[in-house]
Amino acid sequence: MQNLLNRFLNYVRFETRPDETNLSSPSSVEQMLFAEQLTAELEKIGMEEVTLDGNGYVMATLPSNNGTEDPVIGFIAHMDTSPEAPSANVNPLVHSNYDGNDIVLNKELDIVLSPSEFPELVAYRGRTIITSNGTTLLGADDKAGIAEIITACEHLIANPSLKHGKIRIAFTPDEEIGRGADNFNVKAFGADWAYTLDGGGIGELEYENFNAAAAAISIMGRSVHPGTAKDTMINSITLARELDELLPSAESPEHTSGYEGFFHLYDLRGTVEETDMKYIIRDHDPVKFSERKKIMNAAAEEIRKRYSSAGITLAIKDQYFNMKEIIEANYHTIEAAIDAYRRAGIEPVIKPVRGGTDGARLSFMGLPCPNLFTGGHNYHGRYEYIPLQSMEKAVEVIINLCTSAKKPQK
């Protein structure tokens, strides 16, 4: 467990935020620097066929040691962290033997992680909780997944009595901006199926995810002196507010759960002259997903009608789709995971992902890829935390999957 902890604490200190304005892969130099670090580490622990391509994808092999034709299974995690929260200069804090009360992340700024706001914390009384210092996110999404995969491989290498088939691992860039699978070479990866380590709390097992789209809106107004603005000024910020009010107010992330979809305005920057808005659109149901895109188009069209002199542009781009149909046709991947969880003393909590993973797109690219827990909570913000013991259980699940992989029954 100490190796796991040290590895994770090291990883989160790497700044790997993506840059969605840069169309290169990876979108940020920092991700490539982290990829180079991981490549060197994989070679050092004894992994084989370690590669880092020009797009920032790290792949490696743990060769079979059981002499059988077991299927090749893979494990995948992403290197980038959310662009929605501060992630530079992460200072991780380790809180041993958590007592069930408030955790002070930053005394000077009065930033407190409290079970009164996050009641699931109390379930980890007596555990070791890892947080940031409250000024940044932590980065467990998805550096916990990377640490867990490498630690599991290190354990298997150090314990050759644990027999397993061929294992492939991969670390991807730019998952948080929807590009994690853009340049993933499924054929070169060569796995029969895989798992992303990109989930939340201990026990979560997911094979349904949102259908996802991104919407970018640009509003061009007209700026004139406010003293003579009557009937001439067109305040693009006001138009942006009106457009947002045309969307269903109760269908936002803070008001939805389970299978409920949403519109999420996550970035708004503007002046009187010009305002840019960025949304993500999500729904598990493909029909409702299509309807949401129509609602967004209708809102933009309504603002065009109200303000014919303004310029309104809207671009909607599909990002990924619900992998449910692919995984249900390959349900042996879930059965294997359920068995691996239970062998680790964990009862699976099968639930839909209220988000997406690289595995969603990879499933449609021919690599069935459900999602396993990493153990983290409150991703994408300063209140993110992860219990070390949950990470340890994730490592155990990976090892169980590696040592029990069998060809599916026809």
- 69 assigned to active site: no
SS3 97: coil
Q: Tell me, yes or no, whether 146 lies in a domain.
A: yes
Q: Answer yes or no: is 407 within a domain.
A: no
Q: Return the amino acid letter for 229.
A: A
Residue 55 lies in a domain: yes
Same domain, 263 and 196: no
What pLDDT is attached to residue 67? 87
At 84, is the pLDDT very low, low, confident or very high (cuts 50, 70, 90)? confident
**Do residues 41 and 164 both lie within one domain?**
yes
Residues 246-266 have pLDDT tens digits of 999 999 999 999 999 999 999
Both 112 and 43 in a single domain? yes
Print the domain residue range for 110. Answer: 2-209+322-402
pLDDT digits 0-9 by tens, 92-139: 999 999 999 999 999 999 999 999 999 999 999 999 999 999 999 999
Q: What CATH number does residue 267 fall under?
A: 3.30.70.360
Sign for the CA dihedral angle at 32, 37, 43, 45 comes to: negative
The residue out of 271, 289, 320 marking a domain boundary is: 320
220 domain residue, yes or no: yes
Average pLDDT of the segment spanning 303-307: 97
Asked if the model's pLDDT at residue 409 lies above 70, the reply is: no
Domain of residue 34, CATH code: 3.40.630.10
For residue 53, name the pLDDT band (cuts at 50, 70, 90): very high
Q: Tell me the per-residue pLDDT of 317-336, one tens digit each, with 9 for 90 and over.
A: 998 899 999 999 999 999 99
Given the residues 80, 148, 283, 392, the one annotated as active site? 80
Q: Which of 30, 141, 175, 283 is catalytic?
A: 175
Annotated active-site residue 242? The verdict is no
Same domain, 312 and 349: no
Task: Say if 227 falls within a structural domain.
Answer: yes
Angle, CA 378 vertex, CA 334 and CA 136 arms, to 5° = 130
Condensed to tens digits (0 to 9), the pLDDT of residues 159-192 reads: 999 999 999 999 999 999 989 999 999 999 999 9
CA angle 133, 136, 137 (to 5 degrees): 100
352 and 242 share one domain: no
Is the full-model pTM beyond 0.85?
yes
Residue-averaged pLDDT of the chain: 96
**Tally of domains in the chain:** 2
Same domain, yes or no, for 347 and 390?
Answer: yes
